Structure 1
Amino acid sequence: MCTRFLFFVLVFCGCQAFAQQISPKRELRAVWIATVDNIDWPRPGDYNPASQQQSFRQILDNHRQSGMNAIFVQVRDAADAYYAKGAIEPWSEWLTGRQGRAPEPFYDPLDFMIAESHQRNLEFHAWLNLNRAVFKGHPNVTPDHVSRQHPDWMLTYDGTKFFNVGVPEVRNYITTIVTNLIRNYDVDGIHFDDYFYPYKVVGQILNDQVTFYKYGAGYANIHDWRRDNIDQLIHQISDSVKAVKPYVKFGISPFGIWRNRSSLAPDGSETRGLSSYDDLYADTRKWLQMGWIDYIAPQVYFHRGHKRVPYQPLVDWWRKNCFGRHLYIGQGAYRMNGESGWDSPDEMPIQIRFNRQHPEIQGSIYFSSRSLLNNYKGFQDTLRRDLYRLPALVPTMPWKDHTPPLPPQEFELKRTQTQVLMRWQMPPAAVDGEVPRRFVVYRFRENEPIVLNNTSKILAILPAPQTYYADTPPTRGSYRYVVTALDRLQNESYGVMTDVEVQ
């Protein structure tokens, strides 16, 4: 018989060492799903909506089985769109085979992807390429494409057309793309990759000198002006996201090196390679200092023995320079497909364990989906059997929201011959107006301490409004079940608890 009384239990943080030893309670475990050139999805030549949806569900199911709790899906490849509502750019050619052609029969891919992700308790981050307008080798754009409507906004470099972000109207245009998207879709985050000014190519010249003469008064040189253009754009988008939906996360995944340490850059890392600051004009460290972004996910796609950019010293530099914002490491899963320095199947697991030794590092994002699904070096197996065997919640962002939801109400248990059936009720909104978005179900033996940081005790993380769960205990005995609520940013409520005797 189950006891009929109900009481609140504190969500014990527990010992940090204990939590880290078992598995982190809070850790971003994410994967990039690239759509440009059909890298990850949809499959090349697959323009059938039903087939696209089936393959996307399979991708999500695979990553969920590998312990992921978030996905970052590319929804703007080259001034195009994978969504309908509020879109001012044409449908992507990699979705339907021809730019500007809508899916037939019609569906809204972004609506679909968000719904499927949230059903699986995966955060959905909309990944936009910031400055690419026309992809190299793909010149067939629609008559109303921005590159044709505003050729004066474009820079051509090595066969690709880029937005000239030195033009104020360009920055406003890109900001409008972002605000339209978050107004119309229930995304958890807005995400930019490493493309700001283009990667340098020998023999190519970036022809924005005329723009510099027009707008660059007061700058010592064109390089400082370019950096400030990107600064203004990031700041403008940050302010707009906060104004429209303050709970939406905004973050960047830049190239791994901010600056190499030198007499001109004493705060740089002990590395020798291309840098975001000097080569791409992206002062990513400043964006963290200023609080313009909620997280940074540097692409540290290097092995530990790399002569110019070794993994651990670079990651160590980032953890000392994240200024209280979240630091996720971009992991190069594709490197495990036979690249030099990645021969050992232990390389990536060692990197993940190194990350976990440092509390400033709050998770990983893997590039990309296909590489994980191909199970290079057996890494997907390692995630499932070891590193991500136990679940994890997404780290909280107290500067965005620190108010937990109210706990579940009217928690009841019923025992059958083989199962324990649980039901509870949705609580009212908390003081910040939020209701639960998820529920977490824990199970303890009667004599065990109620330590909710022990992720081995998590039975399920359920999407609201599901308010029931059925458990099959492994053996006879007395058990305690605890249910907590999570809000949008995964602040966790107090728990409600009751006991049951399984005979």
Structure 2
Amino acid sequence: MPKNLFDRKADQLVNFSRLWGRQTWLLFLVIFSLSVVLILATLQYPAQSRTPSEIRGVWLTNIDSEVLFSQNSLSDGIRTLKQLNFNTLYPTVWNWGHTLYPSPVAKKVIGTPLDPTEGLQGRDMLQEIIDQGHQANMAVIPWFEFGFMAPADSQLAIKYPQWLTERQNGDKIWLEGNVHKRVWLNPLKPEVQQFITSLVTEIVSNYSIDGIQFDDHFGIPFDFGYDDFTLQLYQQEHQGKLPPKPPQNVKTENNCSINSQEWKEWTQWRANKITGYMTELFKAIKTINPNVIVSVSPNPQPFSVNCYLADWQQWERRGLVEELVLQVYRNNLNSFKQELSRPEVQQAKKHIPFGVGIISGLKGRPVSMKQIKSQVETTRQQKFTGVSFFFYESLWNFGVESVKERQLAFKKLFPTLVDRPKIKNVI
């Protein structure tokens, strides 16, 4: 029997209700599923979603430290740093006039392929750090610690005396810490530049590194530069005029800023020549691998440029620095803050990732966790990009607190894993 109009309307209403119910249920399932996915993602990646990126680095050295000298020590060290949520390793690769990795360039030029220290023989320490560091999601940025400096009795200095620069009185010896006799390669000489560039590009070409780091040893002490080559070059560019003599009462480690226009011009001329070399070195690195970060870890600008002629402010302005970690090794918090407030520091941190180097102790000179914590907190309050500690051994082995106490304190400073800041390549 045919349905009347009322029955047909009733059937349509029932069908509509059923359809709407199914759609509502499906919509509920979709919303519920998305909510579960979002919750799980938040639980799985809490650091990345809630904590800003930050450099958490440490320098690995071969001085007063055993971490590099055996595979077991190195593995244990990297494992500990990973557990404490560090994300950057700065291992020294050029020190004491030797490489700390097997180098064909060093073998050809110096006669030995790496530092003769027993713990490095038969190993490629750098490759070990890269393999284990990357497995732990840590960046590896080799550090050319000695720059143009070398021990006076090194094979490099003995074999190439013509590469060395000197004081006005002909003295080539520079005392580091009033104890260690050092000499300085002349960064203006083409042969020296070629040697250092060959070492750097060798690493960039042969190792899967994240960056490479230099500091203000990529200069020379303020009273050096009176060798024949440099004097002749200066005279060629100054109508035969000789540079001024340095005052007798100024010491390299004391006050290198001399209030004389003639001396300032001589300082800036040498610094500009070194900047010119840094420009060519930067190009050489980027030609091989544009993704390798060029990092610099100098002292504050007045000391760096006046004492070592390493004008990192100029380097940064010219785009030669993609990451800067300023060595602010101060025990007094107010002095620490004053260095961070300098105009060139504030300017640079607007352009590139800018971290702060913090002293975690030296052999015989422990630094308390209280001081370390206050300095880390200061860098965060002032919105620097992160920190790096000098150096690995003193993180917990040279402290006034126990190893366990210091490691627990670092865990509180770095409670979760975070990424390093992204680097915008200059070219």
TM above 0.5, one fold? yes
Query: Do structure 1's residue 222 and structure 2's residue 266 form an aligned pair?
Result: yes
Asked if the contact 1:373–1:380 (Cα under 8 Å) also holds between the matched residues in 2, the reply is yes
Return the offset for 1:64: 1.3
Query: Do structure 1's residue 331 and structure 2's residue 358 form an aligned pair?
Result: yes
Q: Which residue of 1 aligns with 2:348?
A: 321
Query: Do structure 1's residue 391 and structure 2's residue 417 form an aligned pair?
Result: yes
RMSD between superposed Cα atoms in Å = 3.3
Matched residue type, 1:25? P
The equivalent position to 2:130 in structure 1, one of 111, 114, 117, is 114
SS of equivalent to 2:105? coil
Q: Which residue of 2 aligns with 1:454?
A: none
Deviation readout 1:370-406 (Å, 9 max, x if unpaired): 001327244432111x2101111010013469xxxxx
Asked if the contact 1:334–1:368 (Cα under 8 Å) also holds between the matched residues in 2, the reply is yes
Query: Do structure 1's residue 157 and structure 2's residue 200 form an aligned pair?
Result: no
Distance in 1 of aligned mates of 2:163 and 2:365: 41
When residues 236 and 336 of structure 1 are mapped into structure 2, their CA distance, relative to the original with a 3 A threshold, is same
Asked if the contact 1:251–1:295 (Cα under 8 Å) also holds between the matched residues in 2, the reply is yes
Matched residue type, 1:154? L
Return the offset for 1:335: 6.0
Query: Do structure 1's residue 244 and structure 2's residue 288 form an aligned pair?
Result: yes
When residues 181 and 399 of structure 1 are mapped into structure 2, their CA distance, relative to the original with a 3 A threshold, is closer
Return the offset for 1:321: 3.4
When residues 196 and 79 of structure 1 are mapped into structure 2, their CA distance, relative to the original with a 3 A threshold, is same
- Please list, as runs of the form range in 1=range in 2, the aligned pairs for 1:43-192 lying within 5 A after superposition: 43=69, 52-84=70-102, 86-89=104-107, 90-93=112-115, 95-96=117-118, 103=121, 106-132=122-148, 134-135=150-151, 139=153, 141=155, 145=156, 147-155=157-165, 156-158=172-174, 159-192=181-214
Larger radius of gyration: 2
Return the offset for 1:206: 2.9
Number of residue-to-residue matches in the alignment: 343
Distance in 2 of aligned mates of 1:323 and 1:209: 39
Distance in 2 of aligned mates of 1:365 and 1:300: 10
Matched residue type, 2:361? Y
Distance in 1 of aligned mates of 2:425 and 2:218: 27
Asked if the contact 2:296–2:325 (Cα under 8 Å) also holds between the matched residues in 1, the reply is yes
When residues 212 and 96 of structure 1 are mapped into structure 2, their CA distance, relative to the original with a 3 A threshold, is same
SS of equivalent to 1:247? coil
The equivalent position to 2:301 in structure 1, one of 249, 252, 258, is 258
Asked if the contact 1:86–1:181 (Cα under 8 Å) also holds between the matched residues in 2, the reply is no
Return the offset for 1:84: 2.6
Q: Which residue of 1 aligns with 2:373?
A: 349
Query: Do structure 1's residue 368 and structure 2's residue 391 form an aligned pair?
Result: yes
Return the offset for 1:337: 6.5
SS of equivalent to 2:137? coil
Query: Do structure 1's residue 276 and structure 2's residue 304 form an aligned pair?
Result: yes
Structure with greater strand percent:
1
Asked if the contact 1:33–1:40 (Cα under 8 Å) also holds between the matched residues in 2, the reply is no
The equivalent position to 2:330 in structure 1, one of 292, 302, 305, is 302
Q: Which residue of 2 aligns with 1:34?
A: 61
Distance in 1 of aligned mates of 2:267 and 2:159: 28
When residues 212 and 246 of structure 1 are mapped into structure 2, their CA distance, relative to the original with a 3 A threshold, is same
Asked if the contact 2:142–2:212 (Cα under 8 Å) also holds between the matched residues in 1, the reply is yes
Distance in 1 of aligned mates of 2:137 and 2:127: 15
When residues 236 and 334 of structure 1 are mapped into structure 2, their CA distance, relative to the original with a 3 A threshold, is same
Asked if the contact 2:56–2:86 (Cα under 8 Å) also holds between the matched residues in 1, the reply is yes
Deviation readout 1:389-436 (Å, 9 max, x if unpaired): 1111010013469xxxxxxxxxxxxxxxxxxxxxxxxxxxxxxxxxxx
TM-score of the two chains, using structure 1 as the length reference = 0.61
Matched residue type, 1:371? S
Structure with greater helix percent:
2
Distance in 2 of aligned mates of 1:211 and 1:24: 53
SS of equivalent to 2:51? coil
Return the offset for 1:6: 9.3
Asked if the contact 2:97–2:154 (Cα under 8 Å) also holds between the matched residues in 1, the reply is no
When residues 229 and 96 of structure 1 are mapped into structure 2, their CA distance, relative to the original with a 3 A threshold, is farther
Distance in 2 of aligned mates of 1:58 and 1:95: 20
Return the offset for 1:115: 0.7
Return the offset for 1:31: 0.2
When residues 94 and 253 of structure 1 are mapped into structure 2, their CA distance, relative to the original with a 3 A threshold, is farther
Return the offset for 1:113: 1.8
Q: Which residue of 2 aligns with 1:293?
A: 321
Distance in 1 of aligned mates of 2:88 and 2:190: 34
Matched residue type, 2:215? D
| Structure 2 alignment gaps of length 5 or more | 1-28, 166-171, 175-180, 239-261
Return the offset for 1:238: 1.0
Return the offset for 1:314: 1.2
When residues 6 and 352 of structure 1 are mapped into structure 2, their CA distance, relative to the original with a 3 A threshold, is same
Distance in 2 of aligned mates of 1:336 and 1:305: 21
Matched residue type, 1:218? E
SS of equivalent to 2:385? strand
When residues 134 and 258 of structure 1 are mapped into structure 2, their CA distance, relative to the original with a 3 A threshold, is closer
Distance in 2 of aligned mates of 1:123 and 1:62: 15
Asked if the contact 1:254–1:298 (Cα under 8 Å) also holds between the matched residues in 2, the reply is yes
When residues 79 and 338 of structure 1 are mapped into structure 2, their CA distance, relative to the original with a 3 A threshold, is closer
Matched residue type, 1:321? A
Return the offset for 1:85: 5.4
When residues 387 and 336 of structure 1 are mapped into structure 2, their CA distance, relative to the original with a 3 A threshold, is farther
SS of equivalent to 2:99? coil
Matched residue type, 2:288? V
Q: Which residue of 1 aligns with 2:12?
A: none
SS of equivalent to 1:389? coil
